[in-house]
Amino acid sequence: MQSNSYIPNIDLSSILEESSDSINYDLIAKNIKEASENIGFFTVTNHGIPISKIENLLSTCKKFFYLPKEEKIKIAPKKWNPNTDTVYRGYFPSEVNGKEGLDIGDPKLKPNMHDLLKKEKFEVNHDMSYLDPQWQATINEYFDSIHNLGILIFKTIIKAYSNNLDLAEKAFERPKTLSTLRFNYYPKQEKPVEVSAQDGVALGCETHVDSGIMTILYQDKKGGLQVQNRHTGDWHDVPHDPNAFVINTGLALEYLTNGRMKATNHRVLFNQEERISIPFFFEPSYDFKLDPKCLEISESNIYNIENYEDFLTNSLKKFIEYDRAN
């Protein structure tokens, strides 16, 4: 584990092709456990996803956000476009919280999967072929790659506590997962979203913790992401590396580890520079129970055990972009 800052960097190259019983796997598991328990943030390099694949995704993403608003609204949820039938998937405009967004679910979810589509948060993605004939192929490829990276990192977390490595594939069975790939577009902001009550700093994204198991974030440039030291309250910059992903533990992982790994406050400073970030909210199957016994953590639970669908419904209430009431 290397670190020139508060946020440690973990090189994954030694485990990309190795079995989970190798010495290298144990070492990476130890480093990720330490970073997740003490800080809640780390970066990963040599993660197996070529930068060319990410650049292709960014290029496709920019094409969309540079479209006129009336074109983007065509694939907005019905809160903004009454002619669509989605609530969660699609485009949301900048008046929501100062940034534009595009939320995409698992491309493996198809219109004929009626049982899943009866559930509230399962929606087939909008057809984006009008934007770029290669859009679906680009999204499918990246979604597969970033999902697999999430599985790899989650296996190291399991390894830190138990030998139940089969849990990773069972917990994140596609297309039953509620994972979301989001594109955030920050135009040149005229004014901050809010001013921090703690230290008076102007913010482009409010202080919050993420809901899922983990978030895997790519940023196209330094965007002012900061992490709060949960012991001192101090804020630390997350270093920008175009070859790295930023990983942060979410509230669901805090529940699953019975509080050992904790979701950490983070925020984004007000920044007048145009930029794009691509978070992947790595979330398990709707019926997965956040039970620490899955990780062979046997002490008394400090949280109520919930299935993930109910947990997520309650967790998202605090995020303004998920307020989809008409």
What is the predicted pLDDT for the residue at 7? 95
Question: Tens of pLDDT along 53-101?
Answer: 999 899 888 889 999 999 999 999 998 999 988 988 999 988 767 789 9
Round the average pLDDT of the chain to a whole number and report it: 89
Cα 180 to Cα 282: distance, rounded to the nearest angstrom: 7
Q: How many CB atoms lie within 10 A of CB 2?
A: 10
Fold of 9-322: Jelly Rolls (2.60.120)
- Highest mean pLDDT among 37-51, 122-136, 214-228, 229-243 belongs to 37-51
Q: How many other β-carbons are positioned within 10 Å of the β-carbon of residue 267?
A: 21
pLDDT of amino acid 164: 92
Supply the pTM of this predicted model: 0.93
Work out the angle at residue 230's Cα, subtended by the Cα atoms of residues 311 and 31, and round it to the nearest 5 degrees.
85
Structure tokens at 180: 């979301």
Q: Sketch the domain layout of the chain as residue ranges.
A: 9-322
Interacting residues of 190 by C-beta distance below 8 A, sequence separation 6+: none
Where residue 326 falls among pLDDT bands split at 50, 70, 90? low
Residue from 268, 283, 193 nearest 238 by CA: 268
Q: Could you tell me the pLDDT band of residue 268, with boundaries at 50, 70 and 90?
A: confident
Give 23's contacts (C-beta < 8 A, 6+ positions apart): none
Coil, strand or helix at 228: strand
Q: Are residues 203 and 224 in contact, defined by beta-carbon separation less than 8 angstroms?
A: no
Question: Does residue 136 carry a pLDDT above 90?
Answer: no
Task: Tell me what pLDDT residue 174 has.
Answer: 97
Residue 258 dihedral angles phi and psi, to the nearest 5°: 55, 40
